[in-house]
Amino acid sequence: MQELVIRRPDDWHLHLRDGGVLRGVIADTSRHFARAIIMPNLVPPVVTSADAAAYRERILAAIPAGDRFEPLMTLYLTEGTDPADVEAGFRSGLIKAVKLYPAGATTNSHSGVRDITKAMPVLERMAEIGMPLCVHGEVTTPEVDIFDREAAFIETVLDPLRRRLPDLRITMEHVTTKDGIDYIKEHAANLAGSITTHHLIINRNAILVGGIKPHYYCLPVAKRETHRLALRAAAVSGDVRFFLGTDSAPHVDPLKECACGCAGIYTSVNTLSCLAHVFEEEEALDRLEAFTSLNGPAWYGLPVNEETITLRKGGEPVRYPAKVETDAGPITVFDPMFPLHWAVV
């Protein structure tokens, strides 16, 4: 197969940041993607519907002329989040989901939840109205090894929460382990998982072998090869519970290339090329559309995009920029460590 036509894709987990970074990166998504779930972990975070409305306007103002792109807004869950505001935002159509960050789990998560029982009034309201909860599925207790934090979260937080609120729709975002994949497969009701581009390609060796590679450092951190293979199998399976959420997370290079670098990999530039490569390797190009364009809308209750895009495979590798220049500084683009031959026409 040298050419593939698919429905225009969506990104169900995207960081756009704000200010100069937002203005510098938005085109890399709006060029090919129709919609994206926008992460709310700004400084300060997007906590209220008013915050989300203002952030949405800043995003819309940054979209290049001629691009058709819809930001799908989320709220940052805190222990003081107002259930009435959450419900009003959801019923108005402005807010599509609420994001649970365990405090300290990742970038700008320090305002997140430390005691989930204190957020229960919001979660109970969300279960009543059918509003999705997106979770960063890692515990932050220091005694748990960083490579085990997803499995520990499933056991100590996610499973008890689902037993208490079985009607709550939960997206387990950026699944990184076989444990997470298996848990979703075993529990069909009200549970789905997004998978990133980079976790289908790298394992933890990419970060550590031959020296520290800061541009492969993300949270949740990449795991062993056995977990990467489990993610691949889920992504290419066609299972409606798994869909693309890139977790493309831009940081300017000085914040990555330092003694205590930020977590995040910027994949928006070449995600579709990378995914076509992965699905071709797995002999599953016929299921790429389900992963990028069909399963996510089904989960979030939105129509499938009517527009299509065409991916074409060429003989010469596609040349992507090594960095994206923004008003805030340069951002390094994800390098999959193999040549890419598929590109959007």
User: Which one from 145, 179, 247, 335 is the annotated catalytic residue?
Assistant: 247
pLDDT recorded at residue 140: 92
pLDDT recorded at residue 108: 64
pLDDT recorded at residue 107: 73
Q: Tell me, what CATH number does 122's domain have? A: 3.20.20.140
DSSP 8-state code for residue 104: T
Residue list for the binding site for substrate: 15-17, 41, 136, 219, 251, 263
Q: Residue 303: which domain range?
A: 2-344
The number of residues in the chain equals: 345
Order across the sheet with 3-7: list the strands: 3-7, 308-313, 342-344
Residue list for the binding site for Zn(2+): 13, 15, 99, 136, 174, 247
83-92 helix and 120-129 helix, angle to the nearest 10 degrees: 30
pLDDT recorded at residue 104: 76
| In contact, 12 and 296? CB cutoff 8 Å | yes
CA distance 179 to 152: 10
Count other C-beta atoms under 10 Å from residue 54's C-beta: 11
| In contact, 11 and 318? CB cutoff 8 Å | no
pLDDT in tens, the chain (345 residues): 799 999 999 999 999 999 999 999 999 999 999 999 999 999 999 999 999 999 999 999 999 999 999 999 999 999 999 999 999 999 999 999 999 998 877 776 677 898 999 999 999 999 999 999 999 999 999 999 999 999 999 999 999 999 999 999 999 999 999 999 999 999 979 999 999 999 999 999 999 999 999 999 999 999 999 999 999 999 999 999 999 999 999 999 999 999 999 999 999 999 999 999 999 999 999 999 999 999 999 999 999 999 999 999 999 999 999 999 999 999 999 999 999 999 999
Instruction: Please report, as a single letter, which amino acid is at residue 142.
Output: P
Burial bucket for residue 43 (CB in 10 Å: 0-12, 13-18, 19+): exposed
pLDDT recorded at residue 48: 98
pLDDT recorded at residue 251: 98
Per DSSP, which regions of the chain are E strands? 3-7, 10-14, 35-38, 70-76, 95-100, 133-135, 170-172, 191-195, 242-244, 308-313, 323-326, 329-332, 342-344
Number of domains the chain contains: 1
Catalytic site includes residue 145: no
CA distance 165 to 79: 17
pLDDT recorded at residue 235: 98
Cα distance between the two ends of the chain = 15
